[in-house]
Structure 1
Amino acid sequence: MTVEIKHAAGTTQIPEAIESAVALEYSFVDALVALDVNVTGVADDGDSANIIASIRDQVGDYQSVGERLNPDLESIKKAEPQIIIADQDRHKELYDELTQIAPTILVKSFDANYNENLDSFRIIGKAVSKEDKAHEAINQHNDTIKKYTNSIELDKDKTTLPIVVTNDGVVAHSVKTYVGSFLEELGFKPALTKEVVENSSEYMGADYLELDYKQLSEVNPERLFVMVEDENSNEVKSLQNSEAWSHIDAVEKARAHFVNRETWAKFRGLVASENIAQEISEINE
């Protein structure tokens, strides 16, 4: 028996009973764990520590299949998947090769906003024949997010900007990105205006915007969520030592919050979203 699944690359027949899956994005790992599907392979960028702590133990042992941007096909074969979950933008050029290994579906992750990631979760749930479980998981997720939303004490009317620090500036996450749209879902007011978005360079062809220090100061957010892997990195120190940093309203008013980049920017799943909402609910000013 098979299940017919419509996705970004067309229609694919998938075995009705899925006992092994390869995930080429972290949000797909999040989804498969929530659906109690055995994840036998993960594009973990070569480091199992990239799997966020709240689900790492649930994933258990798996085959690393290399980088998310460029997964290793031989390693995917070793994982012996019955299904491969791939990103519709990052992996579309690999689709034909992936389908020679196992039935593959392309859904949004990297360039998806919060609600689009929920849609991807629903598709994955149907693909692994756990549509009812996916529906139940989303209902529980919505209840959890509502609970955290109501417990957030921060002033949501302050213009808010989530950023990742780079070597010579920042990458700002607009409201079209996962983090930007999720913060808006929680009730925060976006700092990026349409004009700023239109006059900024896109990062990796997506709705992430490259801003130098001067542009960041011109946006002048009243609240910053700074997504970092290491708060003491050279990139972070360079930003903090820049002339622009001290004049940003969020910095002057002690509303610059340093948060974990893996959880906030890379995972984009139900569990990660709940972790983010919980973390924000625990911040006091």
Structure 2
Amino acid sequence: MMTTEIKHAAGTTQIPEVIESAVALEYSFVDALVALDVNVTGVADDGDSANLIDPIRNQVGDYVSAGERLNPDFDAIKKAEPQLIIADQDRHKDMYDDLTQIAPTILVKSFDANYNENLDAFRIIGKAVSKEDKAQEVMKQHEDKINDYKDQISLDTDQTTLPIVVTNDGVVAHSVKTYVGSFLENLGFKPALTKEVVENSSEYMGADYLELDYKQLSEVNPERLFIMVEDENSDEVKALQNSEAWSHVDAVEKARAHFVNRETWAKFRGLVASEDIAKEISELNE
């Protein structure tokens, strides 16, 4: 059997030249495999296929749920009979050796990757499935789509902008080092988080996401907010909106607080998700 040697975060791995089945342990890897026309037989979907955004879910078709992204189900992965497993270099590094007992496994960035690092991961995956030419073609189409949407954005990108996820007692802010933060900067939006704020805030899950309480959010005082939620009417969102700080945030006072879908914006981190985000922003008006 012909193989390809792939360099990745855990070293080098010999992978079959023709991949007919792959398991993805992060949503962005599903995105990449679908774009490259590779059969995805298993997905760590956190136990619910509804977590896959529509364009991806429709193209994947039937697959084996490999459990949670943080703690994938090894028996389910075996059941999916992969020729290749794509795992996250941060989340799954401690289980790498065990994964390689099932199938050749590569570790690439997703969870703690910025936009450009996600593009780099796509290139590695393209090489791993012996579809480098296809990957280049997809990347060029992606770049053209993003530039087209960028040209259509009517929002004032000079307003200081902060993407956040709402939590029980505050928010998790996405800095410019994160996927969403870096992608918004790529689209021309001015980051609200200064270096000082970043240095004086608590990291979330050991990554470049920052935990801010309501008071800290009001001190950052972004002129524009992208609020990533699963349910606009959730208790967490209501608590934020009922907080004293909320009404004093410039973005709220000026009606520049935009509620967006957390799955698409924060969890997927792939090419299709990026295009959906850019399209959504291009359709927003002040």
Q: State the TM bucket, normalised to the shorter chain.
A: over 0.9
Aligned to 1:16: 17
Tell me whether 1:49 sits opposite 2:50 in the alignment. Answer: yes
Aligned to 1:247: 248
Tell me whether 1:179 sits opposite 2:180 in the alignment. Answer: yes
Aligned to 1:190: 191
Tell me whether 1:65 sits opposite 2:85 in the alignment. Answer: no
Aligned to 1:168: 169
Moved over 6 A (4+): none
- Cα distance in 2 for partners of 1:275, 1:57 equals 15
- Cα distance in 1 for partners of 2:55, 2:276 equals 9
Following superposition of structure 1 onto structure 2, how do residues 263-282 of structure 1 map, counting pairs within 5 Å?
263-282=264-283
Aligned to 2:85: 84
1:283 is displaced (CA, Å) by 0.3
For 1:273, what is the secondary structure of its paired residue?
helix
1:73 is displaced (CA, Å) by 0.5
Number of aligned residues: 285
Q: 1:272 is matched by which residue type in structure 2?
A: A
1:54 is displaced (CA, Å) by 1.4
For 2:164, what is the secondary structure of its paired residue?
strand
- Cα distance in 1 for partners of 2:15, 2:54 equals 30
Aligned to 1:237: 238
1:225 is displaced (CA, Å) by 0.1
- Cα distance in 2 for partners of 1:137, 1:36 equals 11
Aligned to 2:221: 220
Aligned to 2:260: 259
For structure 1, the residue ranges without an aligned partner over 5 or more in a row are: none
For 2:155, what is the secondary structure of its paired residue?
coil
Q: 1:84 is matched by which residue type in structure 2?
A: I
Q: 1:20 is matched by which residue type in structure 2?
A: S
Instruction: Give the TM-score, by structure 2 length.
Output: 0.99
Aligned to 1:144: 145
Q: 2:51 is matched by which residue type in structure 1?
A: N
1:112 is displaced (CA, Å) by 0.2
Q: 1:153 is matched by which residue type in structure 2?
A: S
For 2:163, what is the secondary structure of its paired residue?
strand
Deviation string, structure 1 residues 207-264 (Cα, Å, up to 9, x no partner): 0000000000000000000000000000000000000000000000000000000000
- Cα distance in 2 for partners of 1:54, 1:247 equals 38
Instruction: Give the TM-score, by structure 1 length.
Output: 1.00
Q: 1:11 is matched by which residue type in structure 2?
A: T
Q: 1:144 is matched by which residue type in structure 2?
A: K
1:52 is displaced (CA, Å) by 0.1
- Cα distance in 2 for partners of 1:157, 1:238 equals 29
Deviation string, structure 1 residues 51-98 (Cα, Å, up to 9, x no partner): 001111100000000000000101000000000000000000000000
Aligned to 1:30: 31
Q: 2:144 is matched by which residue type in structure 1?
A: D
- Cα distance in 2 for partners of 1:141, 1:57 equals 19
For 1:70, what is the secondary structure of its paired residue?
coil
Q: 1:3 is matched by which residue type in structure 2?
A: T
- Cα distance in 2 for partners of 1:246, 1:15 equals 57
Q: 2:130 is matched by which residue type in structure 1?
A: S
Aligned to 1:102: 103
- Cα distance in 2 for partners of 1:284, 1:194 equals 29
Q: Give % identity.
A: 87
1:199 is displaced (CA, Å) by 0.2
Q: 1:210 is matched by which residue type in structure 2?
A: E
Q: 1:147 is matched by which residue type in structure 2?
A: D
Aligned to 2:204: 203
- Cα distance in 1 for partners of 2:86, 2:94 equals 14
Tell me whether 1:39 sits opposite 2:19 in the alignment. Answer: no
Aligned to 2:136: 135
1:5 is displaced (CA, Å) by 0.1
- Cα distance in 2 for partners of 1:204, 1:264 equals 18
